[in-house]
Structure 1
Amino acid sequence: MTIEKTAIEDLVIINPTVFEDSRGYFFEAYNQAKFHENGINYKFIQDNQSFSKRGVIRGLHLQINPFAQAKLVRVLEGEILDVAVDLRKNSPTYGQHVSVVLSAENKKQLMVPHGFAHGFSVLSETASVLYKVDQLYHKESERGIRYDDPTLAIDWQLDPAEVIVSEKDLVLPGFKDIDWEF
């Protein structure tokens, strides 16, 4: 496994070592000891899985302290554009985001630490996404930022006519309107 740093500190891409032969392939998607050796010290307690069709944007979602969630995101089928926005007020990259294509084919994972909003768009016809979290869902701590916020200016790599967003995500506040911090 190799750890690829991004432009934002603590936000990393994990590239597993894949063993392929005529039968198919094998890789370790998660190995706690190897993650700890690389400074990724979360205790994951739950796996979540979603299935979506092309054009779906889920996010930008987060939970505030003390229920903030770290997420380890990967794709089981299809391809997504995974996005994480730095919401750590004292960070030099506050308000900046990183986007990475995760797919069943490239097997990359995005490690999203506490203090980030997270979302993804589905680029393939369908996609199954699996992510580990280190904190249970806590409704009162749930927050979000509107996916099309002009300050963040995220390119979701979709034609606006094909975007599908939940009613819940359409009423999220803009980045300049958030009143919570990490």
Structure 2
Amino acid sequence: MPFKATGIPDLLVYEPKVHGDERGYFFESYNANTFHDEGIDIRFVQDNQARSSYGVLRGLHFQLAPYAQTKLIRVLEGRILDVVVDLRTGSPAYGMVHSIELSAENKLQLLVPQGFAHGYSVLSPTAEVMYKCDNFYNKASEGGILYNDPALAIDWGIPAGKAVVSEKDKVLPLFADVQHNFIFQQ
């Protein structure tokens, strides 16, 4: 089974089957049939790619419904600590933080459903991150949570003085003050 549960409903780790030999490796980073066979039917409409240096911290971001996005995140080069927070009102994991190291080496991917705040920190000298989205970017629906909210106590794996954070991300609200419209669906 290529999908592993995380302990948070609907948040899954995808581990593609990698075929390697003396020439290198090959794997399907995404196959709609593989996802469908596991009961996951998502129509991805946008791919995003970002390159960052060590210490860059992006997040925690989300888009409000009806522009919320499911994301399938993977690393093409380097390694990151990928972090999500469940924002779905009524979820048994509401407010829970989950983090996982994704890298070009381990080829793991994180399937993040709509209703989660998402961010990552770069742990290698550089990292190139690609993620698929099931909804288009909509600037007016942007939201976020302050990356260093003490209530969430996220260890980003970067020493405090080495984190490179955008001015926009430094002024996001605390988790307790965040406004969102996500509802957990069973």
Aligned to 1:168, the other structure's residue is in SS state helix
Distance in 2, matches of 1:86 and 1:49, equals 23
Please tell me the residue identity of whatever aligns with 2:4: E
| Between 42-51 and 32-41, the greater mean CA deviation after superposition | 32-41
In the alignment, what sits opposite 2:167? 167
Aligned to 2:119, the other structure's residue is in SS state strand
Check if 1:88 corresponds to 2:97.
Answer: no
Distance apart, 1:100 and its partner CA: 0.4
Give deviations 1:9-49, integer Å, cap 9, x for gaps: 10000001000000000000000011111122110001000
Aligned to 1:33, the other structure's residue is in SS state helix
- Spell out the pairing of 1:149-164 with structure 2 (5 A cutoff): 149-164=149-164
Check if 1:28 corresponds to 2:28.
Answer: yes
In the alignment, what sits opposite 2:135? 135
Check if 1:176 corresponds to 2:176.
Answer: yes
In the alignment, what sits opposite 1:3? 3
Distance in 1, matches of 2:141 and 2:72, equals 19
Aligned to 2:176, the other structure's residue is in SS state helix
Distance in 2, matches of 1:7 and 1:154, equals 17
Give deviations 1:146-176, integer Å, cap 9, x for gaps: 1001111111011111100001101110101
Please tell me the residue identity of whatever aligns with 2:116: F
Distance apart, 1:178 and its partner CA: 1.0
Check if 1:63 corresponds to 2:63.
Answer: yes
Aligned to 1:34, the other structure's residue is in SS state helix
Unaligned runs of 5+ in 1: none
Distance in 1, matches of 2:51 and 2:140, equals 25
In the alignment, what sits opposite 1:124? 124
Unaligned runs of 5+ in 2: none
Distance in 2, matches of 1:163 and 1:148, equals 11
Distance apart, 1:181 and its partner CA: 2.7
What is the TM-score when the length of structure 2 is the normalising length?
Answer: 0.96
Give deviations 1:125-166, integer Å, cap 9, x for gaps: 000000000111111101000100111111101111110000
Q: Percent identity?
A: 58
Distance apart, 1:2 and its partner CA: 1.2
Aligned to 1:155, the other structure's residue is in SS state coil
Aligned to 2:75, the other structure's residue is in SS state strand
Aligned to 2:168, the other structure's residue is in SS state helix
Which structure 1 residue ranges, 4+ long, deviate > 3 Å from structure 2? none
Distance in 1, matches of 2:21 and 2:6, equals 31
Distance in 2, matches of 1:64 and 1:41, equals 21
In the alignment, what sits opposite 2:102? 102
Please tell me the residue identity of whatever aligns with 1:121: S
| Between 125-134 and 30-39, the greater mean CA deviation after superposition | 30-39
Please tell me the residue identity of whatever aligns with 2:156: W
